C-alpha cells in the first residue's frame, strides 16, 4: 500500500526455524509433549535443568563431582547384597539404590564413566551447564540430550544425593524424586537416545550448523538462498538413510537393553514385542520429520524460488538449469555416463 515493495518480490521462509520445527513435530508425534505432570523423555530433560537451578551452582557442582567419583569407582562385576530387616533403614535404602543403579548401569555401554575431580573445570565436562531444553530454541534440546545421555549415571546418582540431602518438602527434593523415577524407567532412556541420535549425529545439528555458519557467495551468515534447494536434498538423504546409519546403532543398542530391563517384560516373545514397539516410535519419528521437511523446505523447489539455485557453484547450477528446462544438458549427461 505504501509502494515499498517491488511488484515481483518473492517470499521465502527461515530454514533454521523450519529445521527446528522438524525436530519439534517429530518429538511431539512420537514421544508426546513435555511439561508438568508429563512422563516422557522431554520432561526428564526439563527436570535435569530444573534440579541444577533449584540446588544452586556451587552445591550442584559439588554433588556432581562426588557422583562422578562414585560412578568411576563402581564395579559392576561385584554382587550387591540383598537388604534385610536386620539392617538399619539407611543400610536398606543404600542397597536398594545400588540395585537400581546396577540396572541403570546396563542401559548402555556408551555412557561416559570418568572421575571429574576439579570443581573449577567446566568446558567439556559434566560441570558444563546445559541450557533449558526448549523445542523451539536452537541447539538447546540437542545440548541437553547429549549431556544427559553421556552423564546419565552421574545424574542418576546426583538425583539420589539430592533426595537424601534436602528436606522432603523442598523444591530440590521434589524435583530430584521425580527425576529419579523417570530415569529408572528404561523407556524414557530409550526415547532420550532417539532424540540424541536424531539431533546430534544426523538430521539436525550438522545442517543447523551449516545454516548458521555458511557465508558462501554473500559473505553474510544466513544468506544462502542459492544453496537451500541442494540442502533440502541433503537433509532428505540423511533422513532416508538414518535407520541404517552408524549413529543409530546407539539407539538400537538402547532398545535391546531396555527390552530386557523393563518391568513386566518376560520371555523371548515379550522382549521381541517390546523391541517392535520401540522401533515403531523410530518409524513415527522419522516419518513425521520427513513430512515436516517436505512442508517447510519444498517451497524452495517451486518456480518462484528455484531460480535462486542458479547462483550455486557451476555443477549444481547446471543440474538445476537442466531440470528447469526439462532436458538433460550435454555436459551433465557426459558426467553421469562416466560415473556409471
Mean pLDDT: which of 136-150, 169-183, 259-273 is highest?
A: 169-183
Q: Which residues of 227-238 are buried (b: 16+ CB within 10 A; e: fewer)?
A: bbbbbbeebbeb
**Would the pLDDT of 35 be above 80?**
no
Q: Range with the lowest mean pLDDT among 29-33, 102-106, 295-299?
A: 29-33
Candidate ranges 2-11, 54-63, 215-224; pick with highest mean pLDDT: 54-63
State how far the Cα of 170 lies from the Cα of 231, in Å rounded to an integer. Answer: 49
Looking from the CA of 290 toward its CB, the CA atoms found within 13 Å total 13
* Assigned C-alpha cell, 34: 513435555
Q: Model's pTM, two decimal places?
A: 0.85
Least confident of 135-144, 156-165, 170-179: 135-144
Q: What does residue 132 show for φ and ψ, rounded to 5 degrees?
A: -65, 125
- What are the cell numbers at 193? 537416545
Q: Which residue from 173, 150, 199 is spatially nearest to 27, judged by alpha carbons?
A: 199
Mean pLDDT of 210-231: 89
What pLDDT sits at residue 166? 95
CA 201/CA 212 separation, integer angstroms: 17
CA 136/CA 140 separation, integer angstroms: 9
More confident residue, 98 or 130: 98
pLDDT at 57 over 80: yes
Cell matching residue 266: 518376560
Position 338 scores a pLDDT of 64
What's the chain's length in residues?
A: 340
The residue with cell 508425534 is 29
Q: How far, in Å, CA of 139 to CA of 213, rounded?
A: 14
Amino acid at each position: 500500500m505504501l509502494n515499498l515493495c517491488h511488484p515481483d518480490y518473492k517470499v521465502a521462509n527461515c530454514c533454521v526455524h523450519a529445521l527446528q520445527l522438524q525436530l519439534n513435530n517429530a518429538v511431539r508425534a512420537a514421544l508426546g509433549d513435555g511439561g508438568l505432570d508429563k512422563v516422557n523423555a522431554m520432561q526428564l530433560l526439563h527436570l535435569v535443568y530444573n534440579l541444577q537451578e533449584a540446588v544452586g551452582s556451587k552445591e550442584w557442582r559439588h554433588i556432581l563431582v562426588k557422583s562422578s567419583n562414585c560412578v568411576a569407582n563402581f564395579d559392576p562385576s561385584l554382587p550387591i547384597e540383598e537388604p534385610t530387616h536386620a539392617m538399619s533403614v539407611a543400610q536398606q535404602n543404600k542397597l536398594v539404590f545400588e540395585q537400581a543403579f546396577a540396572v541403570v548401569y546396563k542401559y548402555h555401554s556408551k555412557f561416559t564413566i570418568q572421575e571429574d575431580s576439579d570443581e573449577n573445570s567446566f568446558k567439556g565436562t559434566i560441570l558444563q551447564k546445559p541450557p533449558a531444553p526448549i523445542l523451539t530454541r536452537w541447539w538447546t534440546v540437542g545440548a541437553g540430550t547429549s549431556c544427559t545421555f553421556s552423564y546419565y549415571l552421574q545424574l542418576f546418582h546426583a538425583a539420589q544425593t539430592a533426595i537424601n540431602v534436602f528436606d522432603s518438602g523442598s523444591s530440590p527434593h521434589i524435583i530430584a524424586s521425580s527425576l529419579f523415577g523417570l530415569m529408572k524407567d528404561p523407556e524414557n532412556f530409550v526415547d532420550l537416545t532417539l532424540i540424541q541420535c536424531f539431533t546430534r549425529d544426523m538430521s539436525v545439528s550438522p545442517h543447523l550448523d551449516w545454516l548458521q555458519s555458511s557465508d558462501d557467495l554473500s559473505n553474510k551468515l544466513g544468506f544462502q538462498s542459492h544453496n537451500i534447494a541442494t540442502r533440502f536434498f541433503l537433509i532428505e538423504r540423511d533422513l532416508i538413510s538414518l535407520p541404517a546409519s552408524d549413529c543409530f546403532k546407539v539407539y538400537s543398542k538402547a532398545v535391546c537393553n531396555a527390552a530386557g530391563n523393563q518391568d513386566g517384560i518376560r520371555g523371548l516373545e515379550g522382549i521381541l514385542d517390546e523391541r517392535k514397539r520401540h522401533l515403531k516410535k523410530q518409524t513415527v519419528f522419522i516419518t513425521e520429520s520427513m513430512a515436516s521437511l517436505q512442508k517447510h523446505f519444498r517451497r524452495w523447489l517451486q518456480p518462484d524460488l528455484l531460480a535462486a539455485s542458479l547462483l550455486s557453484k557451476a555443477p549444481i547450477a547446471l543440474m538445476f538449469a537442466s531440470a528447469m528446462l526439462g532436458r538433460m544438458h550435454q555436459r551433465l549427461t557426459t558426467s553421469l555416463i562416466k560415473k556409471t
